[in-house]
Amino acid sequence: MDVVTAARMREIDLQATQDYGIPSVVLMENAGLRVAEAIREGGSGTNIVIVAGRGNNGGDGFVVARHLFQEKNVSVWTAASLAEYEGAARVNFSILQKLGISHRNLQEEGALAALASALAQADLVVDALLGTGIARDVEPFYAAIIKLINAGKAPVLSVDIPSGVCADTGKIRGMAVQAKMTITFGLPKQGLLLFPGAAFTGRLEVAQIGIPPALLTGSSCALLTAATVGSMIPQRPADAHKGTFGTVLLVGGSLGMSGALTLAARAALRGGCGLLFAATPRSVQQIVAGQVAEAMTIPLPESSSGYLQRDALDLLREKWSSCQAVAVGPGLTQNEEILPVLAGVLSECLLPVVLDADALNLLARHRGLLSGRRAPLILTPHPGEAARLLSCSSAEIQADRLGAVREMAKIYRSIVVLKGAHSLVCSPDGETSFNVTGNSGMASAGCGDVLTGLLAALIAQGVDALSAARLGVYLHGLAGDLAVKFTGQSALLAGDVIEHISQAYLETTKIHMERGVGKNVGERSND
């Protein structure tokens, strides 16, 4: 499913009207009907307060009122008079008036106080105030309305986007409606998936309103769902053997940080690879071997201070010749003594390589490590590592995650997974995927190592690097969502995520077969 900017969605709407002859009033009718259906299905209670702005978002609210007024106690509160509305919104406001549906202009004296009283009695509030077109901070008049909505106790359903959220960046334009649920139309907008806007969105549903399917594709951004990634899951032939599913070479670990390599190794094995070589400094080899019985461990030469020596590269060359994927970084340390080993892997190994943790920190200081690199490379930074890769601050990364992941992918000519809420996957040409699986319980030590192992396992099984990044991020987050049902977010450990990878596979396959979609994003059609 594509993800779009507000401008691109306006273009799609215009194409539907001009090229296909679908009147805007029909699209508005379908949009309002989808919202009304959701309200009926949700069993919201009797008292429905609809707050309608001046544009098409308000027009959607008028359609909702028309479909519900005979079965609910509906009151409509408008930001303007009929004369100030245009197009399809004006048509639907006029119909609302002729039907005698209760409405009041919030510009009138005492109207805001009356709205506050109505909100106190409401069972549900429909936010159809500002829509996706907001380009500056919310004006005081609208801010006062939003403040009243947020102060009420009734749940809020936002139409298309919570009022006050920027549809492109997810930034809050001074103040925004806190929705429990948002129904957006046609395609999800970027701001619904980027924080802080995502935190105001609540449960997100995408409603199809009759826009021709041919217009809903072609964006450079997409949303990862079970329906889209399920087809990437490697098949397991009945006559397979362990060699069928590939071998992973995992390089990492050091004194005091053997756990990172252990977690990555366990995740790779749980992720489905046939064989795993866990290559680690000699001093920690026995520790890793004792923790991951299924792995073949390789003791690597190390210096007196415990860091990998250049001679380790000879052993690694020998092993990667029989592998399908390599991952480097978990627990490795960023001491520059290991640079010759990392440089050798990146320049000589023609297999797809996943870099994480300290391998990324070394790369940030030595970008020349990638000169001549031809095979696929996946970088998996968290915001701090991303900041080092781009020579900026973590705050700057978080302020523009979409721009940051695209810049990293371009500069490093790599597939980049920018971890966090929500994780982003970007190819070197800028094609970006949003992932909404996962939860804040996964903001704990070791969860990134789990992702590294899982990505390597998928590549070893024959999944191309970009698809492996997308599928791996989705499964990793889903495993965390499944695990948190038993542990709660505060107590979630990386090991819990590993133990639920198998269930994530099963769940994704099941939903894919049923043609469903992923966590917290539903779809409502007009079929």
List, for residues 223-282, the tens digit of each pLDDT value: 999 999 999 999 999 999 999 999 999 999 999 999 999 999 999 999 999 999 999 999
List, for residues 396-431, the tens digit of each pLDDT value: 999 999 999 999 999 999 999 999 999 999 999 999
Residues 247 and 214 in one domain: no
Structural domain boundaries enclosing 171: 6-219
Task: Answer whether residue 372 is part of any domain.
Answer: yes
Q: pLDDT at position 218, please?
A: 94
Measured CA to CA, the distance from residue 429 to residue 175 in angstroms comes to 35
Contact criterion met (CB below 8 Å) for 187 and 3: yes
Please report, for residues 25, 58, 126, 335, the alpha-carbon distance to residue 32 in angstroms, rounded to integers and kept in the order given: 11, 10, 11, 60
Q: pLDDT at position 518, please?
A: 37
Residues 286 and 423 in one domain: yes
List, for residues 319-331, the tens digit of each pLDDT value: 999 999 999 999 9
Measured CA to CA, the distance from residue 497 to residue 504 in angstroms comes to 10
Residues 288 and 384 in one domain: yes
pLDDT of residue 155 exceeding 90, the answer is yes
Residues 91 and 188 in one domain: yes
Q: pLDDT at position 517, please?
A: 43
Q: pLDDT at position 135, please?
A: 86
Task: Answer whether residue 224 is part of any domain.
Answer: no
Measured CA to CA, the distance from residue 138 to residue 142 in angstroms comes to 6
In sequence order, the β-bridge partners of residue 299 are: 280
List, for residues 439-471, the tens digit of each pLDDT value: 999 999 999 999 999 999 999 999 999 999 999
Task: Answer whether residue 118 is part of any domain.
Answer: yes
CATH number at residue 20: 3.40.50.10260
Measured CA to CA, the distance from residue 127 to residue 200 in angstroms comes to 12
Contact criterion met (CB below 8 Å) for 493 and 477: no
Measured CA to CA, the distance from residue 114 to residue 109 in angstroms comes to 10
Residues 212 and 167 in one domain: yes
Residues 374 and 339 in one domain: yes
Residues 174 and 285 in one domain: no
Measured CA to CA, the distance from residue 162 to residue 139 in angstroms comes to 15
Task: Answer whether residue 226 is part of any domain.
Answer: no
CATH number at residue 432: 3.40.1190.20
Residues 439 and 308 in one domain: yes
Residue 404 burial class via C-beta count within 10 angstroms: exposed 0-12, middle 13-18, buried 19 and up: buried
Residues 277 and 404 in one domain: yes
Task: Answer whether residue 236 is part of any domain.
Answer: no
- The DSSP-derived string for 181-211 is EEEEESS-BHHHHSTTHHHHH-EEEEE--S-
Measured CA to CA, the distance from residue 28 to residue 337 in angstroms comes to 64
Domain count, the chain: 2
What does the pLDDT average to over 26-54?
96
Task: Answer whether residue 457 is part of any domain.
Answer: yes
pLDDT of residue 516 exceeding 70, the answer is no
What does the pLDDT average to over 56-76?
97
Task: Answer whether residue 490 is part of any domain.
Answer: yes
Percent of the chain with pLDDT over 70: 98
Identity of residue 237: P
Structure tokens at 120: 């106190």
List, for residues 267-287, the tens digit of each pLDDT value: 999 999 999 999 999 999 999
Residues 208 and 257 in one domain: no
Residues 292 and 206 in one domain: no
Pick the closest to residue 355 from 452, 459, 498 (CA basis).
452
Confidence of residue 526 (pLDDT cuts 50, 70, 90): very low
Task: Answer whether residue 232 is part of any domain.
Answer: no
List, for residues 181-224, the tens digit of each pLDDT value: 999 999 999 999 999 999 999 999 999 999 999 999 999 999 99
Residues 264 and 202 in one domain: no
